Amino acid sequence: SQTIHQWPATLVQPVGSPLSLECTVEGTSNPNLYWYRQAAGRGLQLLFYSVGIGQISSEVPQNLSASRPQDRQFILSSKKLLLSDSGFYLCAWSPQGHLSYEQYFGPGTRLTVT
């Protein structure tokens, strides 16, 4: 069966510091991968998605970036964090070339920028 991992689970970082959040998927090949941010009391905002290694699409202009160095690894980064980057970051995957559209979510990373 497929599993999705995210780490770290929680992170407290000062303003201006760098960020690296990692997401890995097991048990599937060539998945679509997604990064979402969920601010307190709000819905999900799609940040990036990827349909393959090195292929990244950005949905929202910001100081975040994403990379996909391996088939089942998706990384969210920032060179300098802002207070507004605080939130709950969720990674998700969906199967490629499959009729269904459902996405499967990881446990999330709680980021607090101080």
Partner 1 sequence: AQSVTQPDIHITVSEGASLELRCNYSYGATPYLFWYVQSPGQGLQLLLKYFSGDTLVQGIKGFEAEFKRSQSSFNLRKPSVHWSDAAEYFCAVGAYGSARQLTFGSGTQLTVLP
102 contributes a contact to partner 1 by CB under 8 A: yes
Which CB sits closer to partner 1, 17 or 57?
57
Cα–Cα dist 112/11, whole Å: 6
Cα–Cα dist 60/46, whole Å: 8
Of the candidate spans 12-20, 62-70, 72-80, 101-109, the one that interacts with partner 1 by CB under 8 A turns out to be: 101-109
Which run of H or E residues covers position 7?
strand 3-7
Which CB sits closer to partner 1, 13 or 108?
108
If DSSP codes are grouped into helix, strand and coil, which group holds residue 54?
coil
Alpha carbon distance, N-terminus to C-terminus of the chain: 38
* Selection from 102, 83, 105 nearest residue 36 by Cα: 105
- Least distance in angstroms from the C-beta of 40 to partner 1: 11
- Least distance in angstroms from the C-beta of 99 to partner 1: 7
Q: Which residues would be at the binding site for partner 1 (CB under 8 A)?
A: 32, 34, 42-44, 46, 49, 51, 57, 88, 90, 92, 94, 99-108, 110
